[in-house]
Amino acid sequence: MGAKFLPTRIPILYVILGVLVLISVVPMYFYSAQVQSISRDPLISNERLLQNTITRSIADDISQHQDSFRLMQANLASALQIASGGDLTGEHVQAPELRALLENFVSSSEDLDYATLLNSEGKGISAGRIEPDAFLQRELEQGYAAARESRAFNGQPLVVGSGQSARTVMLVSTPVMYQDRFLGMIASVVNLGFLIRRLKEIEGGGLSPYVVDSEGRLVAGTSSQYATGQDMTNLEIVRNFVEQGGKAQMLAATHEFTVGSGKDRTLMLGTYSPVTTLEWAVIAQKPRDEAYSSVYEMQRSARKLAIFAIALSIGVGIIAARRITNPLEILTESSHAIARGDFSQRVQLKSRTEIGELASTFNFMSSELEHFILDLKRAAAENRELFMNSIQMLAGAVDEKDPYTRGHSDRVTKYSLQIAKEMDLPEDFCEILRVSAQLHDVGKIGIEDRILKKPGALTEEEFTIMKTHTTKGANILRPVAQLKEMIPGIELHHESLDGRGYPHGFKGDQIPLLPRIIAVADTFDALTTNRPYQKAHDSQDALRIIHSLSGKRLDQDAVAALDAVFQRGEIQIPRAAAMAAGATNEAAPASMVFPPANALIEMDRA
């Protein structure tokens, strides 16, 4: 019975349209989907890396500010001991010189609103721009109790004043001791306005930054929607930080989560970075639609292109189907070629009839499809270039912190790729090497300028801090899964084959090939550029020094590859790099000090 409803003839229009959609649009759709997938991951990784870098930078700023203030209080405590002769009892605490020291301490920083000195009897003096209210008095009592136990104390963030004079403050106290004897306590009220100003600097473009404590209460933020001390654990990213406890104080983390409920639900992308000295976390969040706007724009463009291709194919098919009457074999053969992905095929049919016109139309369609594929490839290349430019911009920002290292990351990347090419390493390894070498010093963004730019020799404590740039850099990249393969080159490029490197003291085969290549390139660039602790060596002298380290600290194969590339004249030392002047403290093989020829080589100030 069903055969009665089947048409006796299938219109050729339907046949041609079906063939065109099958062999033209479907392959293009899958190719477009593949290009979208390749481009999407780098764009997402770039947004996550940006949030991680921003929050880590603010967290480091807070830690440095806290350390600096603690040092100021320690210096004041020493000055008070000397001025009082170790006696703060009775009326001695009221001495004019002690009051002058306290007033000078408060006036030394705009971030200090109040300070008080209490002796072991609970009596003392104070100075400042505010008067403690009941909440601050309670914090002072807790700080005094901690001081009696010889402990420093960080209070809870509080809001003092009202209206335009309202400000967020925190009590910080330090015990005053003399020969293990409790003399009293110095307590200061620190204005957190510096933190709010720092958060406002990065606010914008949908990004909302704020700081919470270990219990999830708001410390500071830029939105009037939340108040200091408000419980923020209703936000999933804050709740995750609180639940992680001590683990959250070690690493930053990036999450996607939802805020609101019902129709007001909004998908968010957020990152927290811990402030270990205060058990706080700096959080930055942004609506996911805004964070991934470039990804969605790329997808919309691809869909429009696919729709246009479908419309064009259908239009050409209708025109061709009305005119075709004879042999379809030639068209079928060409169609099979296009189905295999060969968009360069053309119908070779000379005819002045409708078939010839159909052949010309078919060739036009193939040409258009070929252009569309080229456009998609070009878009993929542009997205990759955007990703690499972002990486280069981040590395350039680190180099710009110091005039001596300007261009250092670009040169190390160039030398590393030349070494890898000489060693005939695979292309996918070279792509990993390119990103890793470009970002090998990204951890220096977390090193204080006073250390990084110090013109003279570093102290042991300063150099210990300098060496943390390897692990800081690895920690910046570690939350971004797509950059996992680049981390060894960043974290281990100061390891040495003889086990005398850092941060882990790895030896021999414990060190992967990626950091071995970067170490050779980094050493060569350091030797051929001026530094405050050494003048630039000429190229031959630098190679002679590197050869003396081959097999001891540096990889033999990588050193041999560098030498081969140099001997062919493919390495040119930029004049600007050799003539630079300034001050830096590169915690790398760049920190080497080289005695006269044939003398022992003293490695970097590790």
The residue ranges of every structural domain in the chain are 12-52+293-383, 85-191, 195-291, 400-591
The sheet carrying 208-212 orders its strands as: 218-221, 208-212, 280-287, 266-275, 253-259
Helix segments in 223-324, DSSP class H: 236-244, 288-291, 293-323
The CATH number of 400-591, from 3.40.640.10, 1.10.3210.10, 1.10.3720.10, 2.40.160.40, is: 1.10.3210.10
Average the pLDDT over 532-542 and give the result.
81
Give CA–CA dist 188/51, Å, rounded: 33
Q: What is the tens place of the pLDDT at every residue in 349-376?
A: 666 565 666 667 777 777 776 677 776 6
Buried b (16+ CB within 10 A) or exposed e, 359-380: bebbbebbebbeebbeebeebb
Distance CA 205, CA 207 (A): 6
Quote the CA–CA distance of 278 and 156 in Å, as a whole number.
Answer: 10
Q: Is the pLDDT of residue 577 over 50?
A: no
Position 166 confidence tier, pLDDT thresholds 50, 70, 90: confident
Cβ atoms of 510 and 551 within 8 Å: the answer is: no
pLDDT band at 332 (very low <50, low <70, confident <90, very high): low
The label of the residue with tokens 């010309």 reads: 360
86 versus 585: the higher-pLDDT residue is: 86
**Site of tokens 């006796």:** 8
Most confident of 15-24, 261-270, 492-501: 492-501
Whether residue 599 contacts residue 533, with contact meaning beta carbons closer than 8 Å, is answered with no
* pTM (predicted TM-score): 0.46
Residues 131 and 335: their CA atoms lie apart, in Å, by 86
Q: Which whole number is the average pLDDT over 174-195?
A: 87
Candidates 3.30.450.20, 3.20.20.70, 3.30.360.10, 3.30.710.10; CATH matching 85-191: 3.30.450.20
What is d(CA 355, CA 541) in angstroms, rounded to the nearest whole number?
Answer: 75
**pLDDT for the residue 521:** 94
Q: What mean pLDDT, rounded, does the chain reach?
A: 78
Say what percent of the chain tops pLDDT 90: 21
Is the domain spanning 195-291 CATH 3.30.450.20? The answer is: yes
Residue predicted with more confidence, 191 or 604: 191
Q: Which pLDDT score, from 0 to 100, does residue 39 have?
A: 59
Q: How confident is the model at residue 420 (pLDDT cuts 50, 70, 90)?
A: very high
Query: Do 195-291 and 400-591 have matching folds?
Result: no
Lowest mean pLDDT among 263-267, 314-318, 412-416, 459-463: 314-318
pLDDT beyond 60 at 491: yes
User: Where does the pLDDT of residue 192 fall: very low under 50, low under 70, confident under 90, or very high at 90 and above?
Assistant: confident
Q: Tell me, what's the pLDDT at 598?
A: 30
User: b vs e for 418-450, b when ≥16 Cβ sit within 10 Å of the residue's Cβ?
Assistant: bbbebbebeeeeeebbbbbbbbbbbbbbbbeee
For residues 470 and 33, the model is more confident at 470
